[in-house]
Chain A
Amino acid sequence: MDRQSHNSSAWKTFLLHLHPPKVHSRSIRFTRTFGLGGIAALLFIILACSGMILRFKYIPSVVGAYDSLLTLEQEYIFGHFLRSLHYWSANLLIIVSFLHMIRVLFSQSIYGERKKNWIYGLFLFICILAFNFTGYLLPWDQLSYWAVTIVTSMLSYIPLIGEGLSEWVRGGEQVNESTLLSFYHLHTGILPLFFVCFVCIHFWLVRKAKGVTFVKNQGGEMLSSYPHLVHKEVVAALIVCLVLVLLSLLLDVPMLGKAHPDISPNPSKAPWYFIGFQELLIHFDPSIVVLFIPVITLSFLISLPFYKQEGLHVGVWFNSIRGSVAVKIAILVSLFWTTIYLALSELVLQSWSSEAGNNLVVSVINLLIYVAPLLVFVWGLSRRLKLPGTEIRLVFVAILLSSYIVMSIVAYFFRAEGMEFIF
Chain B
Amino acid sequence: MSSRRRFIQKLIAVVFSMQLFYILADLFKPTEKQKRKKAGKEEWKTAGQVDEFKKGTLRVFPSDKYFLYRAVDGGFLAMSVKCTHLGCILRLKEDQQGFVCPCHSSEFSALGEVTSAPAKRPLSVFPVRVVGGKVEVDIKNAVKREVGEKTTLIYS
Enumerate chain A interface residues (CB-CB to B < 8 A): 146, 149-150, 152-154, 160-161, 163-165, 167-168, 172-174, 261-268, 281-282, 350, 353-354, 358, 417-420
Contact = CB atoms under 8 A, between A and B. Distances in A.
B27 interface: yes
Interface in B64-85: 65, 81, 85
A173 B33 contact: yes
Contact of A417 (B26, B28, B102): B102
Contacts of A146: 88, 103
Range for the number of chain B residues in contact with chain A: 20 to 34
A172 B120 CA distance: 22
A154 B104 contact: no
Given A150-B103, A353-B117, A165 B27 contact: yes
B84 to A, nearest CB: 10
Contacts of B102: 264-268, 417-418
A173 B140 CA distance: 12
B43 to A, nearest CB: 15
By secondary structure, the A interface counts as helix
A422 to B, nearest CB: 13
Interface in B95-127: 100-105, 116-118, 120
B88 A264 contact: yes
B15 interface: no
24 contacts: A146-B103, A149-B86, A149-B87, A150-B103, A152-B87, A153-B85, A153-B86, A153-B87, A161-B27, A161-B28, A163-B31, A165-B27, A172-B32, A174-B87, A264-B88, A264-B89, A264-B102, A267-B103, A267-B104, A281-B86, A281-B118, A358-B117, A418-B103, A418-B105
Interface in B34-76: 62-63, 65
A265 B102 CA distance: 7
B24 interface: yes
Nearest to A420: B105
A262 B63 contact: yes
Contact of B26 (A152, A153, A168): A168
B5 interface: no
B86 A354 contact: no
B29 interface: yes
By secondary structure, the B interface counts as loop
Nearest to B89: A264
A212 B102 CA distance: 49
Contacts of A164: 26-29, 31
Nearest to B119: A358
Given A282-B104, A282-B118, A419-B103, A150 B88 contact: yes
Contact of B117 (A167, A262, A354): A354
A264 B26 CA distance: 30
Contacts of A350: 117
A150 B120 contact: no
Nearest to A166: B87
B28 A266 contact: no
Task: Identify the interface centre among B24, B88, B101: most chain A CB within 10 Å of its CB.
Answer: B88
A149 B88 contact: yes
B29 to A, nearest CB: 6
Rank and list the top 6 A-B pairs by shortest CB-CB distance, nearest first: A266-B102, A418-B105, A164-B27, A264-B88, A161-B27, A153-B86
A146 B89 CA distance: 10
A262 B89 contact: yes
B90 to A, nearest CB: 8
Contacts of A153: 85-87
Contact of B24 (A161, A172, A173, A354): A161
B117 A263 contact: no
Contacts of A262: 62-63, 65, 81, 89
Task: Identify the interface centre among B28, B102, B116: most chain A CB within 10 Å of its CB.
Answer: B102
A358 to B, nearest CB: 5
A153 B83 CA distance: 11
B86 A150 contact: yes
